[in-house]
Chains A and B, each alone.
Chain A
Amino acid sequence: MTNEKPNVQTREGQEQMKALGIKPLPDPDATTQPYWDAAMNEELKIQFCSACNQYQHPPMPTCERCEASKIEWRSISGKGIIYSFIIDRRLMTTGFDEPYVVAQINPIEAEHDDVRITTNIKGCELTDVYMDMPVEVFFEEVNGVKLPQFKPAPDAIIKSQQ
């Protein structure tokens, strides 16, 4: 066995990484650390600019809209709706088994729909996922890291369970 690193550019390398149990995980920096720290405590926090009274996500060093440098972190409810989603039918990213859903969520607190949290949708069949579906956050532990994930909210309509 060599200690050569798997080549993530090839399907073979992706299979090697999968066999080793390596899954893609965040590598936080100073700007993003508060998001992942909150997730470790099973809290969803995103940036809020009090100068222009708006949320933004993903986190940036300053406010994207008004360029204010003072930006705070606010806890949000973790409730939202599906802005859009895809169903991957072919291996796209290492560590994933196709098919899988990638969705973007608009949190209910955010006024503009350009606040989008990328997630998977779990807790229902792939074909149950629909546009504007109400969803809520939960936290999934992956190799010691807690990832915010979303599942159907109680008022979501689940076709496969009807």
Chain B
Amino acid sequence: MVFKSAGYTGDYLPNSILHLACALKFSRLMKMDITDRGEEKIYLSKKIDGFFINIAKTSRFVLNYFVELFRPPYEFPEIARQCYKIGCDSLPLISLTGFIIGIVFTKQSRPSLADFGATSWLPSLIGIAVFKALAPLVTALICAGKVGSSIGAELGAMKVTEQIEAMDVSASRPYKYLVFTRVTACVFMIPLLMLYTSFVAMMGSYINISINEHISLATFIANAFDKINFIDFKGSIIKAVVFGFTISMVACYKGFNTTRGTEGVGKAANAAVVTSMYLIFIEELMIVQILGWFR
């Protein structure tokens, strides 16, 4: 039952010992401080170890947010500043995109409804489409691009110029000041922005409908919200919260783990956007699936 080398041994028992070693290492890594202090002790092959180390590092980074949730003080001024910044960053783009989506979606849905003589259903169709599906996703994707890349680049630049280490070494708790505040701000702001996107998209749609179908604003609103219930509302908010958490967490993680100087900063910003976009689509699918069970 002695395992000879730190590779694949073929036997069942030694292998499970190796898995145990991995698990132990995993649990030890989980307990470590979140900043990477460059510990490198290899139990298995470099690749397998790297895989476990990465999982441990990522989960430690994410879970630490919830630890910090119960650890005042909360840096409210900095959170407010980040909220403001997120809003300013994305508002113009979101306004434009939302408005255009509203117009275009209305325009393109009309012919197929007109075939059934059902153009009066347009407001409610648009309401469902915008509020349940489009607004959360569009807001999240735009914010992944605008907010995610700016967080990734900002923290990445701070990492490569040793500013994060400087905070760490003066006991200024960089995670709380940089990550916690940004993630909290995003979790708070993305739902708000999502509501704003829906509003702007509905306005775009109303303009198009009022020109073609001559419906009053009151009727339009009444029709639009006819088919949207509280569960839909909660669902969209939950989606937006999850997306906000994802965007900011991914960006912070990529920023905190930037290496290789200025080139790495660009990579971190890029990776922040790409990774969070992937995750947003996967999460969208999962949340829709799960919400379906509650209906």
Q: Do A and B come from one complex?
A: no
Q: Which residues of B contact A (CB under 8 A)?
A: none
